[in-house]
Chains A and B, each alone.
Chain A
Amino acid sequence: MKRIPDIAGVLLLAFFAAFPLVYTGANYDYVMHVLITAFFYAILASSWSMLAGYAGQFSFGHMAFMGIGAYTTALFCHYFYITAEPTGLCTEFAFFGNWFVIVNPIGVTSTTLTQDCLRQAMAGWGDSVSVTPMPVLLGIVLGTIAGGVAGLLVGLLVLRLRAAYLALFTLGFSEIVKATISAEIDITRGQAGLELPALFENGVTVLGRTFDKTDKIPPYYAMLFLLVACLAILAWLARSRFGLFVRALREDPDAAAALGVNTTRYKVYVFTITTAMAAAAGAVQAHYVQIITPNMLFLLQMSLVVAMAVIGGIENFVAAALGAIFLQIMLEVLRTSFTIGGVEIDMTTWRLVFFGILLMVVLRFFRNGLIAPVIARFRRAGVAEETVAKRRAGEARS
């Protein structure tokens, strides 16, 4: 009985790993897209549940860190290039025999879209000079680091804040990030959005099978891998001393400090780690959808992550991830409309209302979420019998 959650987890993982290879529906790309988005939310929800559920730091700025990760890689890939010849127009400097070119920002005006200095230089060159964009992977790594650094700074700022103040501050931080991105139109192109290269711009060849850059399978496995990696890191952290300290921090910071836990340090650590995960998810997702806009940072997205984590089980990150996958799939399934007694109900608009109500009901009556108690139930099965048996054995010996 105790092994059932583990077995179910392995089976589920195997299912997700095999799914794209065996599924052959007509809506293949759509289903893949839904699943990739679901994994994206699963990373956010599980890292948020580590931050909020385990460490008790109710941050509503998780989406801002995700956005920082996404925009870092977007700006990196958008503005930096390596060329074989100097352009003579851009800011540039020598770089191991080539030229590192920083493209000038041109804003959103459509007539000037091809007017940045590099495009002008390329028009002059024809095809004779090679222009290399920055590697996507480096962008994602940089995005992750930027998110982590931002998390570190915010973590340092909010050290003294508790509960309500922390929630307010992080919410405000998220608004600032959104406002900055929307306002600095010259650089971020504001609401017009910034285009990114695809995750695998030149396609990939695995085991003799070539995948185009629009194929869904490579990003699917990339996102699944990221999810599993994040869950593994979180599980490792939760079982180590770190998890213990962080939970002590949640229950009673003063008592934890009195017992020798460096509360300051662990608070900052947990902020940095979880925000870096959010940033990594954001960077990969941005390269997958290939365009990002400040709308990614709307409070709706944060509400969705919160709802997913709460409905799954806020104090168990695996449950939060499962909740996210389940909810994201449900959100897509509910894109229908049906008729009751002559009244047509368009579920596309009503589904979020139902999720809000579900969120409140779960909060009120199932405080540990819907999935976490199931896992806990199996984990605890037989514990009573074991204890009784142990006691008996102890009595018999004495």
Chain B
Amino acid sequence: METPAIFWGVILWMIAWGVLGSILLRRRYFARDLDTTNANFVGAMAGAALGPVGIGALWAKTPELTGRIIVAFALLAVVLIAGAFAFADPKNNCVSNGSFVASQITNGLIIGIIYGFMALGLTLIFSILGVVSFAHGEFYMIGGMLVYYITAVWLPGINPLLAVMGACAIAFLIGALFERLMLTPMYTGKIDRPVEYGILATFGLAFTLQYFVQAIHGASPVKAERFIDFPRIRWPEDSDPLWIRASRGNLELFETISISNPRFVAAVTCILVLLALLYLLHRTWTGKALRAVSQDRDAAAIAGIDPHRMNMLAFALGGMIAALAGALLVQAFSWLPQVGAIPAMRSFVIVVLGGLGSLPGAFVGGILVGLVEAAGTGCIPDAQKAASYIPAYGMIVLTLTLLLRPTGLFGRRFASGAHGQ
């Protein structure tokens, strides 16, 4: 029997038992009058990981599904898939080549942090306005475009940090203006179906922004200069391999993991801004007001918070976060007016995976999606196909999440705003 046949056989076996487990266990927990929220997920994972044994054990004992059980089964299933893959294709780069795996994981983590940061903006908008912004990718795009135009066309020689801040400020203004002009009728009950209105309105904004930039800029790709160069580092001096070796555009850890300068700078900036954002949300009056509105709009209004102003702030902040992600990545990727589509899709996946409206969920989800994409691009033998399928990896995650655990990793059942209706 050929090895790929074994691999696909194992996968089919896992899928079959996973489907069966998710259906059976949900029924079992339902019949026993137990909490069924996680039964789907655990059933699928137990079926996938252990087949009839796992389902049988859970069926017989119906234990309370704590976080530990959930994580254990999920990890087991992932390990099993990885094992089957390694067995089926032992010569594959991501099985035999340890340093490749390490650098792939590191890069997945780094890009995942940036994705997670971008998704944070989306989830901030959703948790307060109850609207999924379909213009998120376009904010990302104009962030990058503005940085390119400021540093290369309008004010050559300007400090890139100022350019990034300028791009963020403009994105903030666009977000605030759009919210004031277009989204205000949503809050007063003038519209029958506010959620759909919000989707269409942001969709319209995305359309307009994209073609506006295309009309002004044209369709030629651009790329900004590196913001800063790494200093030359060799540390520690006398060890072999060197633990850290940095040159202008590259950073190497242990001489195996290579991280490019733009991604590193972007990830570090994202973490710093994230910390600032957490400070804003948890330590300042405005941030507390924002969180209060996301928890209970009416109660917040009684406590003297103007929910409409918080809506504006949230939308503008969310747009600004996306623009910042774009502004940081314009030095890493070449930029087109259409560049926002894939990051926007990714943010949607992350936000659903983490739980719509959950801030930590967005970050964890971002890292998970970054790792999944790194695994997908690294492990599929045909490199060209692997690259073409990039949007699909996230979608597999999205589909599984929606089927097995629609609330996401950290999802709240109910949130305020116009959703949940």
Does chain A bind chain B? yes
Q: How far is the CA of A171 from the CA of B199 in the complex (A)?
A: 12
Name A's interface SS. helix
A306 at the interface (CB under 8 A from B): yes
Interface string of A152-186 (1 = CB under 8 A from B): 00000100111111011101110110111011110
Name the interface residues of A319-376: CB closer than 8 Å to any CB of B: 349-350, 352-353, 355-357, 359-360, 363-364, 367
A52 to B199, CA, bound (A): 12
CA of A202 to CA of B195 in the docked complex: distance in angstroms? Answer: 51
Cβ of A299 within 8 Å of any chain B Cβ, yes or no, is yes
B419 partner residues in chain A, CB cutoff 8 A = 163-164
- Let me know if B325 is at the binding interface, CB within 8 A: no
Whether B200 contacts A157 by the Cβ 8 Å rule is no
A303 at the interface (CB under 8 A from B): yes
Q: Which chain A residues lie closer than 8 Å to B208 at the CB level?
A: 353, 356-357, 359-360
Q: Within the assembled complex, what's the spacing in Å between the Cα atoms of A349 and B348?
A: 29
A306 to B201, CA, bound (A): 11
Q: Point out the residues of chain A lying under 8 angstroms from B392, CB to CB.
A: 175-176, 179-180
Q: Which residues of B contact A100 (CB under 8 A)?
A: none
CA distance A357 to B212 in the complex (A): 10
Chain B: interface secondary structure?
helix
Cα–Cα, bound, A180→B390 (Å) = 10
Residues 228 to 261 of chain B near chain A (Cβ within 8 Å):
none
- A173 near B395 (CB under 8 angstroms)? yes
* B102 interface residue per 8 A CB criterion: no
Binary flags per residue of A278-307, CB closer than 8 Å to B gives 1, else 0: 000000000000000000000100010011
Interfacial residues of chain B within 195-232, with CB under 8 A of chain A in the complex:
195-197, 199-201, 203-209, 211-212, 214-215, 218
Stretch at the interface among B113-121, B144-152, B280-288, B397-405: B397-405
Which residue of A179, A363, A364 contacts B390 across the interface (Cβ within 8 Å)? A179
Assembly CA distance A183 to B356 (angstroms): 31
Q: How far is the CA of A157 from the CA of B406 in the complex (A)?
A: 12
A172 touches B205 (CB 8 A): no
Contact partner of B215 among A52, A299, A349, A359, CB < 8 A?
A: A349
Specify which chain B residues have a CB less than 8 angstroms from the CB of A364 in the assembled complex.
181-182, 185, 201
**B352 part of interface (Cβ distance < 8 Å):** yes
The CA-CA distance from A315 to B247 in the complex, in Å, is 60
Q: Can you give 27 A-B contacts (C-beta < 8 A)?
A: A58-B199, A157-B399, A160-B406, A164-B356, A165-B406, A168-B352, A169-B399, A172-B394, A179-B388, A179-B391, A180-B389, A183-B384, A299-B341, A303-B203, A307-B204, A307-B207, A352-B207, A352-B215, A353-B215, A357-B208, A359-B204, A359-B207, A359-B208, A360-B208, A363-B182, A363-B200, A367-B191
A58–B193 alpha-carbon span in the complex (Å): 11
Residue of B whose beta carbon sits closest to that of A309: B200
Question: Does B23 count as interface, using CB distance less than 8 angstroms?
Answer: no
| B345 & A360 in contact (Cβ 8 Å cutoff) | no
Please determine whether B204 and A356 come into contact, CB atoms closer than 8 angstroms. yes
Contacts of B218 in A (CB 8 A): 349
Q: Within residues 395 to 421 of chain B, which ones have a CB less than 8 A from any CB in chain A?
A: 395, 398-399, 402-403, 406, 419
Contact between A167 and B391, CB atoms less than 8 A apart: no
**A172 touching B185 in the complex, CB below 8 Å, given contacts A179-B389, A352-B207:** no
CA distance A182 to B386 in the complex (A): 11
Within B362-396, the residues touching A (CB, 8 Å) are 384-385, 388-392, 394-395
> Is the pair B391, A352 in contact by a Cβ cutoff of 8 Å?
no
Contact residues of A between 79 and 104, Cβ < 8 Å to B:
none
* Inter-chain contact B402/A169, CB cutoff 8 Å: yes
B134: chain A residues at CB < 8 Å are 167
Closest 9 CB pairs of A and B: A356-B208, A183-B388, A352-B211, A163-B195, A356-B207, A349-B215, A164-B132, A360-B204, A359-B204
Given contacts A179-B389, A349-B211, A350-B215, 12 further A-B contacts (CB under 8 A): A163-B195, A168-B398, A176-B395, A303-B203, A349-B214, A352-B207, A352-B214, A352-B215, A357-B208, A360-B182, A363-B182, A367-B197
User: Cβ of A136 < 8 Å from any Cβ of B?
Assistant: no
Query: Could you tell me the distance between the alpha carbons of A250 and B131 in the complex, rounded to whole angstroms?
Result: 18
The answer to whether A167 and B199 have CB atoms under 8 Å apart is yes
Q: How far apart are the CA atoms of A353 and B205 in the complex, in Å?
A: 10
